[in-house]
């Protein structure tokens, strides 16, 4: 529990620092959306006793690929670094849960806040 608390405090301080900018960069938004999606899907999977926590990592990574595919269809400008930043955020969130030995449900609020920050800023 102590590790989970320290990890959450570290991630909150990072997100607060980035959110303090006048406007979050596009790459920052991709990073935090990947992390937020991973935490939320992980918490949902755990709430229904889904056995594979990797489903959350897959959801975060897939969201980045789907967004860039959407851009390639003419609804935006596709950018490989956007994809890589979404993947980086998803992997960071996934490994934060593993390293802390915590469950995703402990990150539900943080996941929601990171998504709100990415959308709002």
- Residues 4-59: pLDDT tens digits? 555 565 565 555 555 554 456 788 888 888 888 888 888 788 777 776 778 888 99
Domain assignment of residue 65, yes or no: yes
Domain assignment of residue 45, yes or no: yes
Domain assignment of residue 14, yes or no: no
SS (H, E, C) 7-70: HHHHHHHHHHHHHCCCCCCHHHHHHHHHHHHHHHHHHHHHHCCCCCCHHHHHHHHHHHHHHHHH
Burial level of 68, CB count in 10 A (0-12/13-18/19+)?
buried
* pLDDT exceeds cutoff 90 at 113: no
Rounded to whole angstroms, the maximal C-alpha distance in the chain is 47
Domain that holds residue 91: 2-7+30-120
What percentage of residues in the chain have a pLDDT greater than 90? 21
Domain assignment of residue 25, yes or no: no
Domain assignment of residue 85, yes or no: yes
Domain assignment of residue 23, yes or no: no
Number of domains in the chain: 1
The pLDDT value given to residue 21: 47
Domain assignment of residue 15, yes or no: no
Domain assignment of residue 13, yes or no: no
Q: What contacts 24+ positions apart, CB below 8 Å, involve 117-120?
A: 117/15, 117/18, 117/19, 117/24, 117/32, 118/24, 118/28, 118/29, 118/30, 118/32, 118/33, 118/36, 119/29
What's the rounded mean pLDDT across residues 63-75?
A: 94
| Nearest alpha carbon to residue 29 among 116, 91, 110 | 116
Report the predicted TM-score, pTM, of the whole model to 2 decimal places: 0.72
């Amino acid at each position: 529990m102590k590790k989970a608390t320290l990890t959450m405090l570290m991630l909150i301080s990072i997100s607060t620092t980035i959110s303090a900018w006048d406007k979050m960069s596009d790459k920052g938004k991709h990073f935090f959306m990947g992390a937020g999606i991973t935490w939320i899907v992980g918490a949902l999977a755990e709430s229904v006793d889904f056995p594979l926590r990797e489903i959350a990592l897959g959801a975060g990574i897939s969201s980045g690929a789907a967004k860039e595919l959407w851009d390639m269809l003419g609804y935006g400008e596709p950018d490989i670094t956007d994809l890589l930043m979404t993947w980086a955020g998803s992997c960071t969130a996934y490994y934060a849960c593993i390293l802390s030995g915590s469950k995703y449900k402990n990150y539900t609020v943080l996941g929601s806040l990171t998504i709100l920050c990415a959308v709002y800023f």
